[in-house]
Amino acid sequence: MIDVAGLKRIVGEDWVITERGQMQTYLYDETTPDQRLKPAEHVVVVKPATAQEISEIMKLANRDKTPVYPRGAGTGLVCGAMPTQDGIVISMERFDKIEEVDTENLMVVAQAGVTLAQLLKAVEDANLLFPPHPGDEGAQVGGMIAANAGGSRAVKYGVVRQYVKGLEVVLPTGEITTMGGKLLKNNTGLDLMHLMIDSEGILGIITKATMRLYPRFSGTATLVVSFEDRQKAINTVPKILQSGVIPMAIEYVDHEVILFSAENLGMKWPAEKGKAHLLLILAGVSEDDVYAQAEKMSEVCQANGAIDVLIAERQQEQADILKMRSEIYSAMKPKIAGDSDITVPPASLGKMLDALDEIAKKYNTKIATIAHAGDGNFHPYMLKELVERGVAEDVKKEIYKAAVQLGGVITGEHGVGKIRLKYLELLMDPKQEEIMRGIKKVFDPNGILNPGTAIR
């Protein structure tokens, strides 16, 4: 059914895997076991080396009407890269070269399979900075763009979309196109590049990206601010943003959740007071600048009810705080069935957290939450016991409905993938869904590229 010989002719024998035992890692992503789908039975994994090879694979796939699943590092949380129909997985792992760090234009040109870690290192070696940090450093550039990754640093610098200036894309029908370039302004025709960003691999396969870089910060500081209750912490966030200081990140954590993570890592959480914390990451052009920002933040927080402010300036101290924050998911993972990714207007965060409390009470469970408080995006964790009691689905729906009621959406950074399709109806009007289907048809008339993802 799948033309394995044809694929081998295109990429070479060594780069086609047909043995099921050897392809296990290509069949899944990071979606929690309770939510993940089953991979299809007949899958072939190919590892092309060039856009030209991908183009030929796409032509072959169109000829045979074989579904194709592009795959980055598999760090997605919504089964976006999972092959759920018999077909071809295209792994981008051989697109692993950073072609240029251009210090004059402050741009990096990288192939799609370059990992975030690789990118950060190359950029730092040139004494520059790629500001966003969407999390897992194993993630690949192509995937981060296709999924418009977010992360905690979006408050000051925005999500990945903001950095993308040029793309090379293989269209579903096999043509290789370039969009944009090392350009900061571009208004020629309809903006296909911005349509490609966040298209979750259904409109084309990104093979190369040009992204904007910034100078490195001369200083950073991390503040842990403690409050006696959550509402006070959340209400402080707009006051911070109005003050003129825009932190790189504003994260909200419950005291008991972060203690749990610290314990899990065998570390000690530095703040003992309060029930709710804001973590502020500040960056500036000089140490004086960072210091002035930290002073201002500490004043604003104290004026709004903070009972303790801890300022970490040493590298190690800051890294430890961040580690405890970013490993919350790992600590929780064995206990949870899934997490969601709702986003509401930033000032509605408090209301949303109240809604979560009510839902938790109604279902007699706990919903631990971490929040990118500066941008209204957050991740309530649903415990496994909800699945066992058969109410996980109900709880999830109630959370989504509450978010939509507050003017929010069901995903802020993880995307829709294959597991959130059924919830799209909670917020999408039929006409817009019709247009999205239409767009998919314009790009992919045979519907072979990552079918069953992002749109219904």
Interface positions, 414-453, toward other proteins (CB under 8 A): 414-416, 424, 427-429, 431-433, 435-436, 438-440, 442-443
Question: What backbone phi and psi angles, to 5 degrees, belong to 156?
Answer: -85, -40
Nearer Cβ to other proteins, position 95 or 378? 378
Site for other proteins contains 162 (CB under 8 A): yes
Contacts 24+ apart (CB under 8 A), 162-165: 162/132, 162/212, 163/130, 163/131, 163/132, 163/211, 163/212, 164/193, 164/197, 164/209, 164/210, 164/211, 164/212, 165/107, 165/210, 165/211, 165/212
Question: Which H or E element spans position 43?
Answer: strand 43-46
Residues of span 239-268 touching other proteins by CB under 8 A: 241-246
Per-residue binding string, other proteins, 355-394, x by CB under 8 A, is -----------------x-xxxx-----------------
Note the helical H segments in 243-286: 255-265
Query: Could you tell me the two tokens for 446?
Result: 């045979």
> From the list 105, 302, 326, 446, which residue makes contact with other proteins (rule: CB under 8 A)?
105
Per-residue binding string, other proteins, 305-324, x by CB under 8 A, is --------------------
| Residue for token pair 């002719």 | 9
CB of 102 to other proteins, least distance (A): 8
> From the list 6, 138, 158, 447, which residue makes contact with other proteins (rule: CB under 8 A)?
158
Residue 413 C-beta-side C-alpha neighbours within 13 Å: 23
Displacement of CA 222 from its chain's centroid (Å): 22
Q: Cα–Cα distance between 68 and 88 in angstroms, integer?
A: 5
Report whether 77 contacts 337 (CB < 8 A): no
Nearer Cβ to other proteins, position 12 or 219? 219
CB of 36 to other proteins, least distance (A): 19
Nearer Cβ to other proteins, position 163 or 269? 163
Residues of span 23-52 touching other proteins by CB under 8 A: none
For residue 112, which of 147, 159, 68 has the smallest C-alpha distance?
A: 147
Site for other proteins contains 19 (CB under 8 A): no
Site for other proteins contains 286 (CB under 8 A): yes
Residues of span 106-145 touching other proteins by CB under 8 A: 106-107, 127-128
Q: Cα–Cα distance between 137 and 130 in angstroms, integer?
A: 13
> From the list 124, 125, 191, 299, which residue makes contact with other proteins (rule: CB under 8 A)?
191
> From the list 8, 94, 216, 401, which residue makes contact with other proteins (rule: CB under 8 A)?
216
